[in-house]
Structure 1
Amino acid sequence: MTLWNSVMAVDDDPDILLAFKDVLELEGYTVLLARGGREALELLRRGARPAVILLDLMMPDISGWDFRERQLADASIASLPVVVVSGQGVSARDVAALGVAGYLKKPVDLEQLLGTVERYVRRPQPQPQHA
């Protein structure tokens, strides 16, 4: 289930997930939604390979910190880029300790969100036209 334009959003707040889905799908992305760290890990273990994972830190089942620890321990998904999306005051040191690709503060600025996602999505290269 590897799609060049897929984004996984992981958050326990259904309103945030719906907002991510609406905004990103309008921009042409395929969006996978996970209502927590456990569901996200299950999707990844079943073969989902998003271009980037948008990860909330404060979730009741498996926190973003625990998700990241489990992700890094699994070689098949360890290299997937993660951007933390959190309302918590996360310091640069916290982000560095998680080894994530970036951080977006809630409420998320839409331009920042789209710019961040764009950096990780691998657009298909146009094929040369042969006459």
Structure 2
Amino acid sequence: MGRTTKGEVMVIEDDFAIRETLRELLQEAGYPVTGAANGKEALAQLRVGRVPRLILLDLMMPVMDGLEFRAAQQLDPVLAPIPVIVISAGHESEKFGAMAADGYLAKPFKLDALLAAVDRYC
């Protein structure tokens, strides 16, 4: 039996247009969505707000990039269990293995691939 309520997704992406597009697509599919422009902003939100069921994480961001965010997340016992799907350009995929992420979507990706990945955790 499937879930009746979809879990919250946090999108950590520095490109405003991409972050807002992902937010709109996921909200239209029924997912509650929060967003952050970089890893530092995301950690601040996560430590005072609700814990999402899934994080979509860009790698290349200013202030705190995806690798730094993931390292900090894994050290926090409350945040460490949250699954992470990396969303980044294909040429950055070599960094994926070191992150111990739960999935990877290469930009550009198809909507059905995004929704299938999100639905797996939410």
Name the TM-score, length of structure 2 as normaliser: 0.91
Aligned-pair CA distance for 1:88: 4.5
Please name the residue that 1:78 is paired with.
80
The answer as to 2:28 corresponding to 1:26 is yes
SS for the counterpart of 1:20 is helix
Please name the residue that 2:60 is paired with.
58
Please name the residue that 2:49 is paired with.
47
Aligned-pair CA distance for 1:48: 2.4
Q: Measure the CA separation in 2 of the matches of 1:89 and 1:8.
A: 23
Aligned-pair CA distance for 1:95: 2.0
SS for the counterpart of 1:86 is strand
C-alpha distance after superposition, 1:26-77 (max 9, x if no partner): 0000000111111110111113211110000000110000000100111110
SS for the counterpart of 1:79 is coil
Amino acid at match of 2:104: Y
The answer as to 2:25 corresponding to 1:15 is no
The answer as to 2:105 corresponding to 1:117 is no
C-alpha distance after superposition, 1:78-125 (max 9, x if no partner): 11000000014234x63221010000011121110000000001xxxx
The answer as to 2:93 corresponding to 1:101 is no
Q: 4+ residue stretches of structure 1 with deviation over 3 A?
A: none
- Where structure 1 has 5 or more consecutive residues not aligned to the other structure, the ranges are 122-131
Amino acid at match of 1:64: G
- Where structure 2 has 5 or more consecutive residues not aligned to the other structure, the ranges are none
SS for the counterpart of 1:23 is helix
Q: Measure the CA separation in 1 of the matches of 2:75 and 2:109.
A: 29
1:90 is aligned, of 86, 92, 95, to 92
- Pick which of 3-12 and 104-113 moved more: 3-12
RMSD of the alignment, in Å?
A: 1.4
**More helix as a share of residues:** 2
Q: Is the contact between residue 83 and residue 102 of structure 2 (CA under 8 Å) also seen in structure 1?
A: yes
Name the TM-score, length of structure 1 as normaliser: 0.85
Q: Measure the CA separation in 2 of the matches of 1:14 and 1:45.
A: 22
Q: Give the count of matched residue pairs.
A: 118
